[in-house]
A and B are shown apart, each in its own frame.
Chain A
Amino acid sequence: QKVPAYQLKLKEKDNSLRIISAVIESMKHWSQYTYKTALLFEVLGTLDSAVTPGAYGAKSFVLRDGKESLPCVFYEIDRELPRLIRGRVHRCMGNYDTKRNIFKCVSVRPATVVEQRTFQEFVKTSDVEMRECVKTMNEV
């Protein structure tokens, strides 16, 4: 079967950033491919700790979804972390450091009700896409 030229072109060239909606488990899983394609994650989870200050303007906290929990850090470089309320669901954008098991957040805020309701659907869509993407990576 002949592959159209534009598809080849896309495969070769395009490794642009993807933003992936993920639960903690799938975020950890897809993170192993960050060396091949740029990924940024959107994770929704319940704040399950106090927010504690650390060195270099770091604010640390723990996020939980289901049985999985995720240590997170946000560095207050150009802006402060908003007030987060333990027990509420928050939306974090960031990257996972596999070696240190820590989620480095670039943006944290309370998740809206609609976001919580639709999140599973986004996770599913992202999963399908990533599975396909990994398959392609292995082919090339």
Chain B
Amino acid sequence: MAYSISTHNFVALSDLHPNLARPSIIGVVIGKTDVKGFPDRKNIGSERYTFSFTIRDSPAYFINVNSWGREEYVRSLSESFRVGDCVTIENPLVQTKELEKEEKFNPTTPSCYKLLLSETHSVVKICCHYEVDTKLLSLLHVPVKDPQDYYSLGDIVANGQSLDGRIINVLAAVKSVGEPKYFTTSDKRKGQRCEVKLCDETELSFAMICWDNESIQLAQSWMPRETVIFASELRINFDKFRNCMTATVISKTIFTTNPDTPEANILFNFIKESAATGALDDITEDQLKESINLQTIVDIYTVEQLKVKALQNEGKPEPVYGIIYAYISTLNIDTDTSKIIRNRCSGCHYVVNEMSNTCTFCNDNTSDAKSVFTSFDLLVDLTDHTGTLRSCNLSDVVAEETLSCTLVLSPSLRTGLRVNLLSCKLADPVEASQSLSGNGRK
């Protein structure tokens, strides 16, 4: 199968062969990685850059393309197109794949070759969508794997930790796309993270985490409650911190946005209906708590900075989230036990009335009293070198944990600063000292 725009004749990807002289190919870009630099072994002190992408020209055929070279060349090439664009490549080097090495980090392809681009020999051109055969563009909606070979989110949850580390395909709807968060790692590398919440008929919320710019950009183009994705080769992990299964986008992952398959259509209708009936908005306090993803909280404050921030935020409805490294300076466990341990309604998790032991919040008037469960409800003071946060709420499961302190802060004029600890763990002194020394006044 060959496509032609203008006068060019293109070799079909399935016909590519190392012996072909100066082949030209065309395809839609279905996957792409971030640009990375590596120390050049031949040229000590300098760096070589690389990125790779995957192109497809038929339902059955797609191939990985690697580009190596100078930083300027690789960056400008990478920036010139995106997933979903159509490109032509003149004179790539056709190389036989070393299966194990190749497919550890690149998408699994049906081709036994891969393509190499070099600045001097190959030319990549971007085609305008209107001059591209619609057959080619429609490939963007064909999953790269058997459309029935996927896990529903419920399957993943049900399999649980036995899927930890496994690479699988997932069909799901996009429930929400989080803000990208930017951070610097302890070894001074810049990083980013974006969390996408997926859902399907079996699971209302499932986290998928993107760590690279390309997938974050792609995710930002998805429409919450409208887009359905088929993600091939996602990695499934057990998140010890949140005690749940999550998905991670890796360099092997290829997304098919709004796949044209019966399964995807059913899911699309489901999400449309759910969105219309408000089934997806039904957020109880519990889910709200769960939806605060601790890993997205990256801003580090001293006590003083947090107080300033809270004052700046006065009157705004949204809480301030952050991390502080501090000492617990008051932990009063000698008070009346009723103040440390409280009964909460198992229905809505609200603290129940102490006298009647009934929940006034969920207004349940049925005769059989709802069951209650007891939980910690402590007030602690947090102190660092800049001051003290008084009476922070430490309750429930969080009270039972011990490392850094992650806070949610909701300033209100009537009650003053209200700090809820979302996680309170023993801080790693190395991490704390690095953060504080970078944070304090100079």
Chain A residues in the interface with B (C-beta under 8 A): 6-7, 9-10, 14, 16-21, 40, 42, 112, 114-115, 117-118, 121-122, 124-126, 128-130, 132
Secondary structure of the B contact surface, majority rule: mixed
Question: Residue on A with the closest CB to B384?
Answer: A19
Among the listed B314, B383, B429, B441, which residue makes an inter-chain contact with A18, where contact means beta carbons less than 8 Å apart? B383
Within 8 A of A (CB), among B391-438: 428-430, 432-434, 436-437
CB distance from B325 to the nearest CB of A (A): 9
With a CB–CB cut-off of 8 A, which chain B residues contact A125? 385, 433, 436-437, 440
CB distance from A116 to the nearest CB of B (A): 9
Chain B residues in the interface with A (C-beta under 8 A): 302-304, 307-308, 311-312, 314, 326-327, 329, 381, 383-390, 428-430, 432-434, 436-437, 440-442
Q: A128 near B384 (CB under 8 angstroms)?
A: no
Q: A19 near B440 (CB under 8 angstroms)?
A: no
A–B Cβ pairs within 8 angstroms, 7 of them: A10-B307, A19-B329, A121-B434, A125-B437, A129-B440, A129-B441, A130-B385
With a CB–CB cut-off of 8 A, which chain B residues contact A121? 433-434, 436-437
Q: A122 near B388 (CB under 8 angstroms)?
A: no
Cα A20 to Cα B265 in complex, Å, equals: 61
Cα A14 to Cα B326 in complex, Å, equals: 17
With a CB–CB cut-off of 8 A, which chain B residues contact A6? 308, 311-312, 314
A10-B304, A129-B386 are contacts. A17–B381 as well, Cβ < 8 Å?
yes
CB distance from B65 to the nearest CB of A (A): 46
Q: A128 near B311 (CB under 8 angstroms)?
A: no
A16-B390, A130-B385 are contacts. A9–B311 as well, Cβ < 8 Å?
yes
With a CB–CB cut-off of 8 A, which chain A residues contact B440? 125, 128-129
Known: A17-B329, A121-B434, A132-B441. 19 other contacts (CB 8 A): A6-B312, A7-B308, A10-B304, A10-B307, A10-B308, A14-B387, A16-B303, A16-B387, A17-B387, A18-B383, A18-B384, A18-B385, A18-B388, A21-B385, A42-B327, A117-B429, A122-B436, A129-B302, A129-B386
Q: B430 near A117 (CB under 8 angstroms)?
A: yes
With a CB–CB cut-off of 8 A, which chain B residues contact A126? 385
Question: Residue on B with the closest CB to A21?
Answer: B385
Most chain B beta-carbon contacts within 10 A, residue among A42, A117, A128:
A128
Question: Residue on B with the closest CB to A17?
Answer: B388
With a CB–CB cut-off of 8 A, which chain A residues contact B326? 19
With a CB–CB cut-off of 8 A, which chain B residues contact A114? 428-430
Cα A126 to Cα B312 in complex, Å, equals: 25
Question: Residue on A with the closest CB to B327?
Answer: A19
Q: Which 3 A/B pairs are nearest by Cβ-Cβ distance? A: A16-B388, A121-B433, A6-B311
With a CB–CB cut-off of 8 A, which chain A residues contact B436? 121-122, 125
With a CB–CB cut-off of 8 A, which chain A residues contact B430? 114, 117-118
With a CB–CB cut-off of 8 A, which chain B residues contact A17? 329, 381, 383, 387-388
CB distance from B20 to the nearest CB of A (A): 59
Q: B311 near A18 (CB under 8 angstroms)?
A: no
CB distance from B25 to the nearest CB of A (A): 55
CB distance from B363 to the nearest CB of A (A): 39
Most chain A beta-carbon contacts within 10 A, residue among B304, B383, B386, B388:
B386
Q: B383 near A40 (CB under 8 angstroms)?
A: yes
With a CB–CB cut-off of 8 A, which chain A residues contact B429? 112, 114-115, 117-118, 122
Cα A122 to Cα B430 in complex, Å, equals: 10
Cα A30 to Cα B340 in complex, Å, equals: 36
CB distance from B433 to the nearest CB of A (A): 4
Question: Residue on A with the closest CB to B438?
Answer: A125
Cα A21 to Cα B437 in complex, Å, equals: 13
Question: Residue on A with the closest CB to B303?
Answer: A16
Cα A122 to Cα B327 in complex, Å, equals: 13
Cα A18 to Cα B441 in complex, Å, equals: 16
Cα A111 to Cα B225 in complex, Å, equals: 53
CB distance from B231 to the nearest CB of A (A): 40
With a CB–CB cut-off of 8 A, which chain A residues contact B432? 118, 122
With a CB–CB cut-off of 8 A, which chain B residues contact A42? 327
With a CB–CB cut-off of 8 A, which chain A residues contact B389? 16
CB distance from B127 to the nearest CB of A (A): 54
Cα A12 to Cα B342 in complex, Å, equals: 36
Cα A129 to Cα B305 in complex, Å, equals: 12
With a CB–CB cut-off of 8 A, which chain B residues contact A18? 383-388
CB distance from B259 to the nearest CB of A (A): 50
Cα A126 to Cα B392 in complex, Å, equals: 23
With a CB–CB cut-off of 8 A, which chain B residues contact A112? 429
Cα A42 to Cα B436 in complex, Å, equals: 16
With a CB–CB cut-off of 8 A, which chain A residues contact B388? 16-18
Cα A132 to Cα B441 in complex, Å, equals: 8
CB distance from B8 to the nearest CB of A (A): 62
Question: Residue on B with the closest CB to A93?
Answer: B327
With a CB–CB cut-off of 8 A, which chain B residues contact A21? 385
With a CB–CB cut-off of 8 A, which chain B residues contact A118? 429-430, 432-433
Question: Residue on B with the closest CB to A4?
Answer: B312
Cα A19 to Cα B304 in complex, Å, equals: 13
Cα A138 to Cα B145 in complex, Å, equals: 71
Cα A53 to Cα B426 in complex, Å, equals: 32
Cα A18 to Cα B273 in complex, Å, equals: 55
Q: B385 near A129 (CB under 8 angstroms)?
A: yes
Question: Residue on A with the closest CB to B329?
Answer: A17
